[in-house]
């Protein structure tokens, strides 16, 4: 599928406000394992108009969710997009990286400073997917010692609305060496929580980790 064909299939070209055309295009590319279409898509992601680029990043991470191997060769393009001033492109790129983190773990790990920087200034969606990337890479032995302190620091500084979810995700990968630091953050922030439901979630994490 050529770039011109892809553009015609995008939601913005069709004057659609929903994402269905982009999702259908991604599904078709996955079903056909159309590597030519993926290459064309990534070219448009770098050279197209802003509307086209926003649609293309949606198609890209929809492909990645279904078959991460189809987009893993383009990790560097997604990493560069983390620097975008456009919020949609930035969180879309982080979403794509979340999809392929286990396909190219060393490459993603080598660019952790950029991922962390984007997460610190980005939207909730950007932060959520950055946490997921770190959680996925954490069990890899050679990366664990570097990633767990970062995850615990993220947790300590996270917004209260995200705190229970992040605690649950990090609790699923925290190792014995970092349990004390992890539990300390949970204990310190427990009284900050503004609902009983959130407190119950954290108490459950504490019980499981303890």
The pTM assigned to this predicted structure is 0.94
Evaluate the CA torsion angle 60, 66, 70, 74 in order and state its sign.
positive
Helix (H) or strand (E) holding 146: helix 141-157
All structural domains of the chain: 3-137 (1.25.10.10), 155-210 (no CATH)
pLDDT at 79: 96
Query: How far apart (Å, rounded) are the C-alpha atoms in residues 22 and 62?
Result: 8
CB of 125 within 8 A of CB of 94? yes
Evaluate the CA torsion angle 172, 175, 178, 181 in order and state its sign.
positive
User: pLDDT digits over 81-105, tens only?
Assistant: 999 999 999 999 999 999 999 999 9
User: pLDDT digits over 161-188, tens only?
Assistant: 999 999 999 999 999 999 999 999 999 9
């Amino acid at each position: 599928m050529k770039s011109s064909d892809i553009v015609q299939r995008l939601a913005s070209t069709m004057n659609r406000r929903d994402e269905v055309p982009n999702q259908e295009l991604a599904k078709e590319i996955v079903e056909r394992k159309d590597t030519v279409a993926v290459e064309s898509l990534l070219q448009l992601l770098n050279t197209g108009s802003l509307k086209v680029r926003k649609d293309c990043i949606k198609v890209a991470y929809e492909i990645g969710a279904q078959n991460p191997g189809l987009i893993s060769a383009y990790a560097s393009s997604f990493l560069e997009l983390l620097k975008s001033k456009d919020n949609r492109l930035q969180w879309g790129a982080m979403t794509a990286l979340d999809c392929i983190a286990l396909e190219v773990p060393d490459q993603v790990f080598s660019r952790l400073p950029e991922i962390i920087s984007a997460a610190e200034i980005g939207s909730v969606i950007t932060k959520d997917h950055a946490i997921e990337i770190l959680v996925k890479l954490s069990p890899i032995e050679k990366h664990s010692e570097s990633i767990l302190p970062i995850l615990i620091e993220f947790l300590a500084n996270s917004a209260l609305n995200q705190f229970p979810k992040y605690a649950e995700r990090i609790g699923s990968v925290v190792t014995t060496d970092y349990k004390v630091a992890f539990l300390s953050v949970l204990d310190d922030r427990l009284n900050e929580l503004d609902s009983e439901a959130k407190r119950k979630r954290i108490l459950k994490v504490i019980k499981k980790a303890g």
